[in-house]
Amino acid sequence: MATEEEQFLQDYAPREYPSVALTVDLVVFAVKASTLHAAFVRRGGHPFKGALALPGGFVGPDEDALTAAWRELQEETGLELGAHRAHVEQLATYSSPGRDPRMRVVSVAHLALLATDGSALPALNPGTDTEAAQWMPVYEVLANETLAFDHRGILTAALDRLAGKIEYTLTAARLLPEEFTLYQLRRVYQAVWNTDKLDAGNFTRKMTGALRDTGRKVLRDKGAPAALFTVRDEYLSPPMMRPV
């Protein structure tokens, strides 16, 4: 004989409730030449056909949101995060009833930080349902582009989180190789904060307590070889204040 709970589940009718689809969206940040970039796609189908959008898509019935996020990113841009030094965290859930004109869709947005040496970004290749996939400067997009769905709000939220976190943590180092120079780290701060007002001497004094000198150096195009550092302490105390 079925238990009370088993009988309840047998009699339960989920179709009596409004259906809600689950999707994922990704904000993938990377730095090149002191400029913060994000990965974008041009939508290949309706709605918002041809519009600029963040990579993402529907969560499959046998997937969790994070698995779907990694899969959708690879399918739409060709970028496989597992092949790179990358950090991924959940950003927020977006559930406004009118955010998608097709149906009620709730999206779990993720923030991904992709490490580069600042000289180049990985190639992106559009998938079957996208017209194009490309890296674009974040601040230029926010100033000049229209994004599909509520993706402008998601992009802004991701930028705000990153810009705030690097004030009191070494999250900025996640956008660099494991070993990096102070010059490279300062360029990341300049890219995220969209500023050139970071004094090199003051930046060095703020950072060195949270970094470990590897004892190794790297040659530069000009000047003496630069010391290589790794993160020793995730937190900055006192915090690095964003220029105004």
Angle at CA of residue 98, ends 62 and 66, nearest 5°? 25
* pLDDT at 6 (0 to 100): 85
Residue 46, both tokens: 């309706």
How far is 158 from 114, CA to CA, in rounded Å?
14
Q: Is the pLDDT of residue 27 over 70?
A: yes
**Contact 158/166 with Cβ under 8 angstroms?**
no
pLDDT, tens digit, 9 for 90 and up, residues 71-80: 999 999 999 9
In which band, very low, low, confident or very high, does the pLDDT at 9 lie, cut at 50, 70 and 90? Answer: confident
pTM: 0.93
125: phi then psi, degrees, rounded to nearest 5: -130, 125
Q: Pinpoint the alpha helices (H) of the chain.
A: 4-11, 65-77, 138-144, 151-168, 182-193, 200-207
Q: Is the pLDDT score of 17 beyond 90?
A: no
Domains of the chain in sequence order: 20-165 (3.90.79.10), 168-231 (1.10.10.10)
Q: What is the dihedral of CA 49, 51, 53, 57, to 10 degrees?
A: 0
Written as six digits, the tokens of 74 are: 């690879």
* β pairing state of 21-32 and 105-114: parallel
User: For 85-131, what is each residue's pLDDT tens digit?
Assistant: 999 999 999 999 999 999 999 999 999 999 999 999 999 999 888 99
Mean pLDDT of the chain: 94
- What is the pLDDT confidence band of residue 224, given thresholds at 50, 70 and 90? confident
Kindly state the tokens that stand for 99. 């955010």
- How confident is residue 1, by pLDDT bands cut at 50, 70 and 90? low
